[in-house]
Amino acid sequence: MFRRKRKATDFSSEIEAHIQLETERLREQGLSEDEARAAARRAFGNVTRAEERFYEPRRWLWWDHLRQDLRFAARMLRKSPGFTAVSVLSLALGIGATIAIFSVIYALTLRPLPVDRPEQLVQVLGVLNEDLHTYSEWKIFRERQDIFSGVLAYNHSDVYFQIASPTGQQEVEGEYVSGDYFWTLGVQAVLGRALQTSDDLPGATPVCVLGYGLWRRAYGQSRDVLGRKIRVNGNDFVIVGVAPKSFFGVDIGSMLEIFMPLEAERTYRDYAIRYGHQTPSLDDPATIISIAARLKPGISTNQANAGLQVLGAEIYSALTSRPDGNKWHRAAPKSLSARSMQNGTSNEWLQNMDVAVLLMIMAAVALIIACANLGNLLLARAAKRRSEIATRLAIGASRWRLVRQLLTESVALSAAGGVAGLLIARWGSQVLLWTLSYPDDPLLLDLSWDAKLVAFAVSITLACALLFGLAPAFGATQISLSSAMNNGVTTGRPRSKFMNSALVVAQVALSVAVLVSAGLLARTLQAFLTQDLGYDPKGVVTAQATWQGGGERPQPTARVAEEILKAFRSLPSVTSASASWGPASYSHGLPQLTVPGPGGSERRMGAYPTGVSSEFFKTRRTPLLAGRDFNDGDTGTSPPVAILSEALAKALFGAVNPVGLTFREDDQDGSGRDYYVEVIGVVRDIQYRRPDYGPLLIFYRPVSQCGCSTMIMAFYEIRIAGAFAESSKRLENAGAAIDSRVSLKFGLLSNVMDGVLRRNRAMALIATTFGLFVALLAMIGVYGVTSHATAERTREIGIRMALGAERRDVFGMLLGEMMRVVCVGVVFGLAAVFPAAQIIQGAIWGVKTTDPLSLSFAICLMLLIAGIAAFLPARRAMKVDPMVALRYE
């Protein structure tokens, strides 16, 4: 029921009427007007009290108090802008960093997939307990399974497609998916329809579903995209629908923008373009497919596992008993199992979690230190406000009301910090994403805010307010009225020395641990940078070529590529030039190499293949350790030859000089042909990836010999004499003169390693920033504690000086006392380094945890900072005039 709230004025007029009535009654009894009125008032008692009692039970009261408190808090904060600025800033940085890092961790591991009932989804694991399956396996699995209410498959590797859309040619991330993909996930198209089973049949019309981002970017969200054709890798697909905005696939960290049926891939066989000479067809074991499924309601993962075990064995015997069964022995699963996929799959990015966790801990440490400092500063302020608080208590404010008032100030401070922190977090989480990304494989996450993230941010902010506000609020209101009122200006009850010391020890210890961790990360980066790369990147320009229209006609493009290389070499400023397939690590699938082992046995291993032209090693200045380089005599008709990397030569042939020996390269394309390849040389290992992964096992083949009819030599490396800008212009002109459809993207070879190490660089930078931030906070903390303690001891210092202590002695005593505490903190901090290093073990390489440089840097910096922070108050104490100090009290 809604009853109108009664107004306070209405209540007051009722009381007024009462007093009138009573006065009249008393006058009728014979009292004078004044006497009657006074008596009536006396009988009524305290009018204000009655009004308050009318008013108080109303819920408006807390709102009123809150408004008063907030107004008062704002006034107090405005009155000390320096204090407010320092507190808000340090809180903002602490809260912002914590939220930024948490939002990334949340998106990586905790945020459920934006699909229907994600808790029912499982990943189906096969060989080696990984989600590696084959298309043939998937077909049998789909037909025979009755464990799940729905199943789906998609190709596992990150695949970029060249698409031609109204806004021009671009490369987008996409996936081939099974027809039941969208249905099983329960994802509806926002426009048109999702893919369906009938699209994923041999010979079906090639259709595709656009991701929301591509639809917006390339088609301006136009509704008439349906039925239009989009050119993907040179093939036309009909657009039938658009996926929802929030849907990015099931792999966390990717952002799929085009979905096509698996069978369409067979139709177009664009594998040749993407995978080079290996061209595995959809039915080959080399094609990797991922399988996921939706559990039936009420079925647990364990129950599903029992069924999967049986099904796995069935699939294995079905595949191996086929006519081509021998190639399925390794590729078919002997058993299957399920793993929850509620939060998506993110195997690749989970290895970055240790770094994220470390950063999270650093941010939390920074935030806690910031709170401790604020608490300390507020305590000191509260001491100054003792007489104000005592007065308020004396005139009848309740203690709870005052605590609330002081807490409101803390919450206001914290909220200001939180709001500023959110701005920092928005920006910080992008920086963090960039840090975790590899240049050619960006980490794309849904960082939008949902209820859980908002709850996290709000509770962090409130927790901070309580953390730094509770102790001062209760401490300040716990005062004896008489003493506080009498000697109004004395500072508060001396805080225990132990508390002060503990605060400093904790801050210094945490700072040292963070600084050492940052130092270790920086030293790791240094170790990477000084690592022998196996080549000299200085003065080498890279050029990546793309042909308009993708790889529609591979034959002529290979010829064009060679002509461009010749044109480059003929330029006067070019010392040498080469072409290759690109970094060896780009290879998909490892060909197996076999050599005869001792006693008729065989030695087999997988190695990374890469095709290079002549002068590749000369351009990179990679030393040839044995044998010769490729030359013009190595053609498609001459005997197959290869140059091995040092690591591969050692692994395959041991200590024997392999030059002149041969190895067998297993058939990968199903043509039934094995190659026998002669080794003509060995080169120094080239670091294509982060040095801590060790050198890749690489075999180089001349581009002229390895199925290059379908391969584009897209990566040029040119050693130049002269400036980059000028040379790249000339190279571009030379390329355009050969074929105008070629576009060249220029870069520096030295940037390649920079790209690989970008994460390490950024990580070291972020950690160092955190370290300095935490150290700065510790400085504020030490300063606060020292100046407070010194102020409390003014009298003692006065006595000491009156008794003949030199100023120098006083200074030395105060500084010495503080530095002793700081040293204890440093020792604790060094002890904390070991657990911290455990967490970032994966990110540390080439340095020991006890790296003397990192340790001494952290210790010296900390002592310096603490020294400065303690020096200022100690110098102030030195100037104490004993007469003044003693007279004062």
Instruction: Give the nearer residue to another protein in terms of CB position, either 24 or 817.
Output: 24
Q: Kindly report the length of the chain.
A: 889
Q: Is 14 a residue that touches another protein (CB under 8 A)? A: yes
CB atoms within 10 A of CB 489: 9
Instruction: Give the nearer residue to another protein in terms of CB position, either 20 or 638.
Output: 20
Instruction: Give the residue from 619, 608, 561, 550 showing the smallest Cα distance to 583.
Output: 608
Contact 392, 113 (CB under 8 A): no
Smallest gap from Cβ 5 to another protein, in A, equals: 10
Amino acid at 739: D
Q: Is 438 a residue that touches another protein (CB under 8 A)? A: no
Q: Is 22 a residue that touches another protein (CB under 8 A)? A: yes
Instruction: Give the nearer residue to another protein in terms of CB position, either 24 or 692.
Output: 24
Q: How far is CA 196 from CA 180, 289, 394, 444, in A?
A: 6, 18, 78, 27
Q: Is 30 a residue that touches another protein (CB under 8 A)? A: no
Smallest gap from Cβ 56 to another protein, in A, equals: 9
Smallest gap from Cβ 14 to another protein, in A, equals: 5
Q: Is 17 a residue that touches another protein (CB under 8 A)? A: yes
Smallest gap from Cβ 23 to another protein, in A, equals: 10
Amino acid at 45: G
Pick the binder of another protein from 8, 38, 47, 364 (CB under 8 A). Answer: 47
Instruction: Give the nearer residue to another protein in terms of CB position, either 45 or 598.
Output: 45
DSSP string, 233-286: TTEEEEEEEE--TT---SBTB----EEEEHHHHHHH-THHHHHGGG---TTSTT
Q: Is 8 a residue that touches another protein (CB under 8 A)? A: no
Residues 6+ apart with CB under 8 A from 797: 790, 810, 877, 880, 882, 885
Contact 508, 866 (CB under 8 A): yes
Instruction: Give the nearer residue to another protein in terms of CB position, either 21 or 884.
Output: 21
Contact 68, 15 (CB under 8 A): no
Stretch that binds another protein, among 14-22, 161-169, 465-473, 666-674 (CB under 8 A): 14-22
Instruction: Give the nearer residue to another protein in terms of CB position, either 25 or 497.
Output: 25
Smallest gap from Cβ 48 to another protein, in A, equals: 9
Q: Is 46 a residue that touches another protein (CB under 8 A)? A: yes
Instruction: Give the nearer residue to another protein in terms of CB position, either 40 or 286.
Output: 40
User: Cα angle vertex 677, ends 675, 681, to 5°?
Assistant: 160
Instruction: Give the nearer residue to another protein in terms of CB position, either 43 or 431.
Output: 43
Q: Is 43 a residue that touches another protein (CB under 8 A)? A: yes
Instruction: Give the nearer residue to another protein in terms of CB position, either 12 or 84.
Output: 12
Q: Is 6 a residue that touches another protein (CB under 8 A)? A: yes
Stretch that binds another protein, among 41-49, 218-226, 282-290, 637-645 (CB under 8 A): 41-49
- CA-to-CA distance for 729 and 720, rounded, in angstroms? 12
Pick the binder of another protein from 39, 190, 299, 529 (CB under 8 A). Answer: 39
Residue 412 CA, distance from chain mean position: 30
Residues 6+ apart with CB under 8 A from 465: 407, 410, 411, 413, 414, 415
CB atoms within 10 A of CB 606: 12
Contact 213, 83 (CB under 8 A): no
Report the run of H or E that residue 414 belongs to, with start and end.
helix 399-436
Question: Which 48-67 positions form the footprint of another protein (CB under 8 A)?
Answer: 49-50, 53-54, 57
Instruction: Give the nearer residue to another protein in terms of CB position, either 41 or 139.
Output: 41
- CA-to-CA distance for 417 and 638, rounded, in angstroms? 72
Q: Is 69 a residue that touches another protein (CB under 8 A)? A: no
User: Cα angle vertex 552, ends 549, 555, to 5°?
Assistant: 125
Q: Is 850 a residue that touches another protein (CB under 8 A)? A: no
Both structure tokens of 515: 């600084």
Pick the binder of another protein from 33, 44, 306, 639 (CB under 8 A). Answer: 44
Question: How many binding residues for another protein (CB under 8 A)?
Answer: 23
Instruction: Give the nearer residue to another protein in terms of CB position, either 18 or 381.
Output: 18
Site string for another protein, 820-839 (x = CB under 8 A): --------------------
Stretch that binds another protein, among 22-30, 550-558, 608-616, 715-723 (CB under 8 A): 22-30
DSSP string, 636-648: TTSPPEEEEEHHH
Smallest gap from Cβ 45 to another protein, in A, equals: 3
Q: Is 20 a residue that touches another protein (CB under 8 A)? A: yes
Pick the binder of another protein from 2, 9, 34, 45 (CB under 8 A). Answer: 45
- CA-to-CA distance for 128 and 436, rounded, in angstroms? 27
Pick the binder of another protein from 18, 266, 399, 795 (CB under 8 A). Answer: 18
Q: Is 140 a residue that touches another protein (CB under 8 A)? A: no
- CA-to-CA distance for 869 and 873, rounded, in angstroms? 8
- CA-to-CA distance for 163 and 384, rounded, in angstroms? 69
Q: Which chain residues interact with another protein by CB under 8 A?
A: 6, 11, 13-15, 17-18, 20-22, 24-25, 39, 43-47, 49-50, 53-54, 57
